[in-house]
Amino acid sequence: MTIGGGMDASEGKAWFTQDRFGMFIHFGLYALAARHEWVQHREEISPADYRKYFENFDPDLYDPREWARRAREAGMKYVVLTAKHHEGFCLWDSKHTDYKATNTPYGKDLLKAYVEAYRAEGLKVGFYYSLIDWHHPEFPIDGIHPLRNHPDALEMNKSRDVRKYAEYMRNQVTELLTDFGEISVIWFDFSYPKRDYRGMPGKGRNDWESEELVGLVRKLQPNIIVGDRLDLPTDGNFPKDLATPEQYTPRVAPTVNGKPVRWEVCHTFSGSWGYHRDETTWKDAAQLINILVDTVSLGGNLLMNVGPTARGTFDARANKALETYGEWMRLNSRSIYGAGPSEYVAPTGCKFTQRGNRLYLHIQTWPFRHIHIEGLGRKVKYAQFLHDASEVHWLDPDADVDSNIGVAVGNGMLTLELPVLKPDVVSPVVELILKD
Ligand code: GLC
């Protein structure tokens, strides 16, 4: 299928829809505040006051090999880490700023170790790079900046030059895409050109100089997949490479100008991207699994986020959520990797994914004894549960089947016979092997 700008295979991007499931990591100074990665914005903390997190940044237990192992065991195939988030703090030893991990008590480059560790586990590596920067002195204050309500904000903006900031971004992106080997994904976050606030305009492609930035990215890493938050026109020189719906399941697959587009939905375990100690809205096992299933059934990828603690660890809640994925993927990943939407319509309470002649019925709401599927009655060669490869029977669509269950003879309905007891699997999957 042609997606976005060209053929996946010829662009070296085919891995993406094959892999389906990745890990997002939000790690920065906000992990110390432990109350959302937007804490500086929310609490209007000045750069001077925010400095305490920089001065105390010391993730002494940081072991990216452990992160990478946990990602692989969860069934994740690629990873995207915040090299810089909105706070402006850089995890690598950038030549273009002092505001970086190497100048904190921790004293080391976190990004090099990250890249090596994830590659060693066989995962593809990506970076998130924030367009927004609440620390850089040339970044004009705007409606989401922590200093937005400062009485002298407009005055301060007179000496801030967004062109210098755009150049800083290009310099940093050059480092990120030159010094760390092959980078598979880059996420730029985000644009808000229409958000004016007290005479301070929002920011978009003219501020970031987005076309130039993407041109640079394409030159440095021709195969990289570029996120779509740069405010680029969809009919320009840089067609949308990756649509990025956030924290919701799209009702239908996103399109651009009526055409399919590569897409990836990103989600959190508990609402916050950065580590949030007191956040309690952690998704349960069924929600975690169903988010993945729903996404793949629509043809998208899932990038699921972990916010490590300021010690550099995944906390117990995050590990538990990752293990939920791991357990499920160990038995059911055949219905995810390389799978996508099906032309068949899933019955109520179920979703379909499909790969070739393997049609996967994800049973999200366990029924009593039967599931009826239109149009499939004579097309199935064999059916089994994925988790234990146990055979699943179906009623003969051409015989006089039990009229109590309302299946008319000869209507081509597939009626699966299921155990009364739901197997001990979140969202059990029936693999339907279709006739050729
Ligand atoms: C938003 C937020 C941000 C997070 C991102 C992930 O744009 O600003 O904190 O990194 O979404 O998609």
Average pLDDT over the chain reads 95
CA of 132, closest atom in ligand 1? 8
Ligand 1 atom having least distance to the Cα of 274:
9
pLDDT at 361 over 90: yes
Q: Are 277 and 34 in contact (CB under 8 A)?
A: yes
237 vs 298: CA distance, rounded Å: 27
pLDDT digits (tens, 9 = 90+) for 18-34: 999 999 999 999 999 99
pLDDT at 7: 45
pLDDT at 395 over 70: yes
Ligand 1: atom nearest CA of 38 is: 9
Concatenated DSSP letters of 320-337: HHHHHHHHHHHHHGGGTT
> What confidence tier does 1 reach under pLDDT thresholds 50, 70, 90?
very low
Please say if the pLDDT value at position 397 is more than 50: yes
Q: Best substitution site from 38, 40, 246, 266 to test ligand 1's pocket, by max atoms within 8 Å of Cβ?
A: 246
Band (pLDDT 50/70/90 cuts) for residue 409 is low
pLDDT for position 34: 98
Its pTM stands at: 0.96
Q: Is the pLDDT of residue 2 over 70?
A: no
**238 CA from centroid of ligand 1 (Å):** 22
pLDDT band at 236 (very low <50, low <70, confident <90, very high): confident
**Closest atom, ligand 1, to C-alpha of 246:** 12
Ligand 1 centre and the CA of 58: distance in Å? 24
Cα of 356 from ligand 1 centre, angstroms: 35
CB under 6 Å to ligand 1: residues?
26, 37-38, 189-190, 246, 266, 273
Q: Which residue has the higher pLDDT, 144 or 1?
A: 144
pLDDT band at 360 (very low <50, low <70, confident <90, very high): very high
The Å distance, Cα 429 to ligand 1 centre, comes to 32
User: What separation in Å is there between the alpha carbon of 37 and the centre of ligand 1?
Assistant: 9
Average pLDDT (133-160) is 98
pLDDT tens string 321-337:
999 999 999 999 999 99
- The predicted model gives 76-98 an average pLDDT of 98
Residue 271 has pLDDT above 60, yes or no: yes
Q: What is the pLDDT of residues 423-432, one digit of tens each?
A: 999 999 999 9
Q: What is the CA radius of gyration of the chain?
A: 24
Pocket test for ligand 1, best of 26, 41, 189 (most atoms within 8 A of CB): 189
Q: What confidence tier does 94 reach under pLDDT thresholds 50, 70, 90?
A: very high
pLDDT value at 235 more than 90: no
Instruction: Give every strand in the sheet of 264-267, ordered side by side.
Output: 225-226, 185-189, 124-130, 78-84, 21-25, 301-306, 264-267
Taking residues 269-289, what's their average pLDDT? 98
In this structure, which residue's CA is closest to atom 4 in ligand 1? 273
Q: Model confidence at 413, in pLDDT bands (50, 70, 90)?
A: confident
Band the pLDDT of 6: cuts 50, 70, 90. Answer: very low
Q: Which element (helix H / strand E) includes 291?
A: helix 285-297
Output the CA 28–ligand 1 centroid distance in Å: 13
For 95, which DSSP code?
A: T
| Index of the ligand 1 atom closest to the CA of residue 305 | 6
Q: Which has the higher per-residue pLDDT, 1 or 93?
A: 93
* Domains of the chain: residue spans and CATH: 2-335 (3.20.20.80), 350-434 (2.60.40.1180)
Alpha-carbon gap, residue 424 to 390, rounded angstroms: 13
Alpha carbon of 189 to ligand 1 centroid (Å): 7
387 in Cβ contact with 362 (< 8 Å):
no
Which of 190, 228, 267 maximizes ligand 1 atoms within 8 Å of its Cβ, making it the mutation to test the pocket? 190
CB 303 within 8 Å of CB 77? no
